[in-house]
Amino acid sequence: MNNQELLSTVTQTAKMWLSETYDQETRDQVQAMLENEDHTDLINSFYRTLEFGTGGLRGIMGAGTNRMNIYTVGAATQGLSNYLKLAFSDLPVIKVAIGHDCRNNSRKFAEASARIFSANGFQVYLFEDLRPTPELSFAIRELGCQSGIILTASHNPKQYNGYKAYWDDGSQIVAPHDEGIVAEVGKVKVENILWNGSDDNIHILGKAFDQQFIEKTTSVIINPEVVKKQHDLKIVFTPIHGTGVMIVPQTLAAAGFTNIIHVPEQDVVSGDFPTVISPNPEEPAAMEMAMNKARETGADMVMATDPDADRIGVCTTNDKGEWIIINGNQTALLFLYYIITQYKKLGKLKGNEYVVKTIVTSELIADIARKNNIEYFDCYTGFKFIAEVIRENEGKKKYIGGGEESFGFLPSDFVRDKDAVSSCVLMAEIAAWAKDQGLSLYELLKNIYLEYGFSKERMKYIVREGQQGAIEIENMMKGFRSQPPAILGGSKLELVKDYTTLKTKNLLTGAEEKIDQKITSDVLQFFTVDGTKISVRPSGTEPKIKFYIEVKAALKSKADFDDVNAATSQKIDQVMNDLVQ
């Protein structure tokens, strides 16, 4: 389709949004786009329908088929309702739970969804105000709901919002229900949406339910004695304007920690995220205010949660006294090392325990599991796949932890999505345990590397916005598949894993093997002869192509740490240059 044809098509679609089916504010926005000589906003708002994918909806807020607004949210909710009626036709009443974060329009979208579910005859549990994503997952399980949704765009910039759908086990939806819901949502037209449900079917969840969640969350503590000894550990915590603002400090206090230091400017709940460009604890700029507070107060550690409190950011001091962010791979490494170490020490290992990581997460975690005779599972990126592993092993094996490189961890299975609330409690315990031995989290990491080997990981990404950007990302993936790089970081490429075909090919021998996954995914992995691992995939929620690079090296002593760290960092830069020349 050429540009003129595209403009004609989007213009016709946009004019349909001028009918009285849509509210006046929406019509005014669409009319302004139609009258603007610059057609960029018009095209980007209407060139496609914002896809309800297997992870729900996520997009920029505004009028249009490709935007997050009351109509795209309404269609998603009606389509989900239609599917739930089919899937649970034997139940007299279908129950759903609804949560939302701090973002602009999140409450509006949540209340609209509650009325739609109610109009479809469901019993609805709506949180009274913003709440963390893990609490929504907990609510679905605790209240015996068949589904749930949360309005959030996680750590995306302020112009975004999103809609995540959950199944009756509290996990985000996976096969076969994902495709069924997508199909039902695709059938919905605006005139099919049941907007006006009775408030009698909507039950408000408030502070009494929070207490149930907090009580359950404190159960992740493994060694209460170390918390008692180091209860006054100085913890700086920031919610970065989001849902962790009350629940995380309350939970840390309930767990026994008595010295929680706030960052007042970031305790302000706001969808505009006034102190940061991006409310992402992976970004140093988002953590700077908390690290400054730690410098001022002589704190032992910093913890942060993203706007919906499912991701945890952790900061510590290095051996030069500088505050640094512990990356997501290192965070998962600390969690799983501590859990396994403490379970062994306390005699809690019964032989049926297992851990889970995603395919793009550090292989060092697999090494630790293997060396401790703990079973581990690899799954696709996204906690719905970790939750799927938990569901398949329920009643047979014991889950003791799982994580991914993007600052997500789940310490216990009473929640079935990444859980920064529980993770903050457990990470505080880990820091207390380390301090009890005279160690910082940084020194603890060094000890782990000495015992199990050194690994350096970094995620890089390239952003390509809009329709043209999507085409560019697709072409990049095609290029990597048709002509993978022969040399990466000075090392010959040995293995290529293509998750669209579920095949591994050894480029040195020509041998092929099947990858043990149920479904395909648009992910490529390259493994070089020296153990370097590169994963490439388009983001499912953002206009990005992501590169996950892991380089391994020998670490013989702590004295060598800085040199090894610098050398592997340079190698990662070289690998990235080889990938994108």
> 461-495: per-residue pLDDT in tens?
888 888 788 888 999 999 999 999 999 999 999 99
> Which residue's entry shows tokens 């929406």?
26
Q: In a 10 Å sphere around its CB, with 0-12 CB exposed, 13-18 middle and 19+ buried, how is residue 468 labelled?
A: exposed
Pairing of strands 160-166, 147-151: antiparallel
How far apart (Å, rounded) are the C-alpha atoms in residues 308 and 137? Answer: 12
Sheet holding 375-379, edge to edge: 375-379, 353-358, 398-404, 408-410
Contacts for 455 with CB less than 8 Å, ≥ 6 apart = 329, 362, 363, 364, 449, 550, 551, 552, 553
Binned at pLDDT 50, 70 and 90, residue 149 comes out as very high
* 171-185 mean pLDDT: 90
pTM: 0.93
What's the token pair of residue 537? Answer: 């995939």
Provide the residue type at 322 as one letter.
Answer: E
Enter the tokens of residue 382.
């996204």
Domains defined along the chain, listed by start? 1-47 (no CATH), 50-205 (3.40.120.10), 213-452 (3.40.120.10), 454-579 (3.30.310)
CA 240 to chain centre: 16
Q: In terms of Cα–Cα distance, which of 138, 132, 169 is closest to 152?
A: 132
**156 has pLDDT over 70:** yes
Q: What b/e string do you get for 105-137 counting C-beta neighbours within 10 Å, with b at 16 or more?
A: bbbebbebbbbbbbbbebbbbbbebbbbbbbbb
Rounded CA-CA distance 317/299 in Å is 10
Residue 98 has pLDDT above 80, yes or no: yes
Mean pLDDT of 62-83: 96
pLDDT at 140 over 90: yes
**3-state DSSP assignment of residue 524:** strand
| Three-state secondary structure call for residue 320 | coil
- Residues marked active site are found at 154
- The radius of gyration of the chain from alpha carbons, rounded to an integer in Å, stands at 24
In sequence order, the β-bridge partners of residue 505 are 496, 512
Count the neighbouring beta carbons within 10 Å of the beta carbon of residue 516.
8
Taking the CB of residue 359, how many other CB atoms lie within 10 A of it? 22
pLDDT digits (tens, 9 = 90+) for 411-441: 999 999 999 999 999 999 999 999 999 999 9
pLDDT at 134 over 80: yes
CB 381 within 8 A of CB 359: yes
DSSP for 184-223, please give it. HHHH--GGG------GGGEEEE-HHHHHHHHHHHGGG-S-
Give the mean model confidence (pLDDT) for residues 78-104.
97
Q: Token pair of 429, please?
A: 């315990």
More confident of the two residues 300 and 52: 300
Indicate the average pLDDT of the chain.
95
- Mean pLDDT, residues 276-298: 96
In 150-184, which positions are buried (b, 16+ CB within 10 angstroms) versus exposed (e)? bbbbbbbebebbbbbbbbbbbbbbbeebbebbbeb
Q: Is the pLDDT of residue 311 over 80?
A: yes
**The pLDDT of residue 1 is above 60:** no
Examine the pLDDT at 92 and tell me if it is beyond 80: yes
pLDDT at position 54 is: 67
pLDDT at residue 318 is higher than 70: yes
Say which amino acid occupies 244. Answer: G
Q: Which residues contact 171 (CB under 8 A, 6 or more apart)?
A: 137, 383, 384, 387, 388, 390, 391, 416, 417
Residue 542 has pLDDT above 80, yes or no: no
d(CA 552, CA 538): 24
Those residues whose C-beta lies under 8 Å from the C-beta of residue 248, and which sit 6 or more positions away, are: 237, 239, 303, 305, 309, 420, 421, 424
State the Cα angle at 470 between 466 and 474, rounded to 5°: 170
**Low-confidence winner among 29-38, 52-61, 529-538 (lowest mean pLDDT):** 52-61
